[in-house]
């Protein structure tokens, strides 16, 4: 078995309203890759957010009383806290320079995914970048437009770097997916010794997102789209909501 990951070349800085499907098709051609059914494309959250215009000019934000209170406790910019709160369902943990929340989409992460890194400011202003409004829908849209343009059915994942409650270091995870079994349920399957698996569920979309992150990098690499061929499981309809653990089953909250 073989799994092949290729970073797509020559992707320029993405701006609001850029057509990501056209960017993908052009870059695939430059990489001499012809899309096949069951290939997977992993797209970095930042370029999806930028294309969708999920930018907030910091100087235009007026912090609320709650944001000012939280900023005083965390030593964060109150305007940034206000933007974080706009994307937050519940604050999970809070300490100096750290704000862990349940994002409105259900996953737990730092700062509701609101970020300043690799966000250019062409007008000299400082901007924050929020996660896509609906990453699963963004993936489905890219997938359908690629199918219409190229005539093949692929899986699409949007990945982002998240920390974990039980280990140090960030890893790539899937915040959006389409055409990929985000959660692979192996319960009922036999192991090597014919014992039946009772609890094994594989976060397949997260594993592919993490693998893609190795090529994307975390700083100035400029490789935001990864092509994957050879996923060793059948693809199906799926979405990243499959990966969200309900609060009642979350032992870290």
Per-residue pLDDT tens over the stretch 137-182: 999 999 999 999 999 999 999 999 999 888 999 999 999 999 999 9
Does residue 17 contact residue 53 with C-beta atoms inside 8 Å? yes
Asked whether the predicted pLDDT for residue 7 surpasses 70, the reply is: yes
If you classify domain 55-129 with CATH, what class do you get? alpha beta
Which helix (H) or strand (E) is 98 found in, with range? strand 98-103
Does residue 210 contact residue 171 with C-beta atoms inside 8 Å? yes
Q: How many helices (H) and strands (E) does the chain have?
A: 6, 12
CA distance linking residue 79 with residue 38, whole number of Å: 43
Handedness of CA 235, 163, 50, 130 (dihedral sign): positive
**Domain extents in the chain:** 4-52+132-248, 55-129
What's the pLDDT score for residue 197?
A: 75
Same fold yes or no, 4-52+132-248 and 55-129 = no
Q: How does DSSP classify residue 198?
A: S
- Range with the largest mean pLDDT of 86-90, 219-223, 243-247: 86-90
In the predicted model, what is the mean pLDDT of the chain?
92
Helix, strand, or coil here: 20?
helix
pLDDT digits (tens, 9 = 90+) for 72-105: 999 999 999 999 999 999 999 999 999 999 999 9
CA distance linking residue 157 with residue 145, whole number of Å: 15
Q: Which residue has the tokens 């999920």?
A: 54
CA torsion, points 1, 27, 177, 237, in degrees to nearest 10? -70
Q: Exposure string (b/e) for 24-39, b if CB count within 10 Å is 16 or more?
A: bbbbbeeeeeebeebb
Mean pLDDT computed over 129-134: 97
Q: Which residue has the tokens 């959660």?
A: 183
What is the maximal distance between C-alpha atoms in the chain? Answer: 63
Mean pLDDT computed over 9-17: 92
Note the pTM of the prediction, 2 decimals. Answer: 0.93
Asked whether the predicted pLDDT for residue 221 surpasses 90, the reply is: no
Which CATH homologous superfamily contains domain 4-52+132-248? CofE-like (3.30.1330.100)
């Amino acid at each position: 078995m073989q799994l092949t990951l290729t970073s797509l070349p020559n992707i320029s800085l993405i701006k609001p309203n850029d057509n990501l499907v056209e960017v993908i098709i052009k870059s695939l051609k430059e990489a001499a890759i012809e899309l096949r059914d069951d290939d997977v494309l992993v797209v970095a959250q930042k370029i999806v957010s930028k294309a969708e215009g999920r930018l907030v000019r910091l100087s235009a934000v007026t912090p609320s009383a709650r944001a000012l209170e939280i900023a005083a406790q965390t030593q964060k910019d109150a305007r940034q806290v206000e933007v974080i709160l706009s994307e937050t369902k519940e604050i999970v943990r809070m300490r100096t320079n750290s704000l862990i929340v349940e994002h409105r989409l259900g996953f737990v992460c730092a700062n509701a995914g609101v970020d300043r890194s690799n966000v250019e400011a062409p007008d000299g202003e400082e901007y924050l970048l929020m996660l896509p409004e609906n990453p699963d829908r963004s993936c489905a849209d890219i997938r359908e437009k690629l199918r219409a343009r190229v005539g093949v059915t692929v899986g699409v994942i949007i990945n982002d770097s998240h920390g974990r409650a039980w280990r140090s270091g960030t890893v790539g995870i899937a915040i959006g997916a389409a055409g990929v079994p985000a959660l692979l349920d192996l319960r009922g399957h036999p192991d090597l010794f014919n014992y039946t698996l009772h609890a094994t569920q594989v976060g397949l979309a997260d594993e592919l997102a993490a693998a893609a992150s190795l090529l994307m990098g975390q700083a100035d690499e400029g490789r935001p789209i990864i092509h994957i061929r050879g996923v060793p499981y059948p693809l199906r309809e799926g979405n990243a909501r499959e990966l969200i653990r309900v609060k009642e089953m979350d032992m870290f909250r």
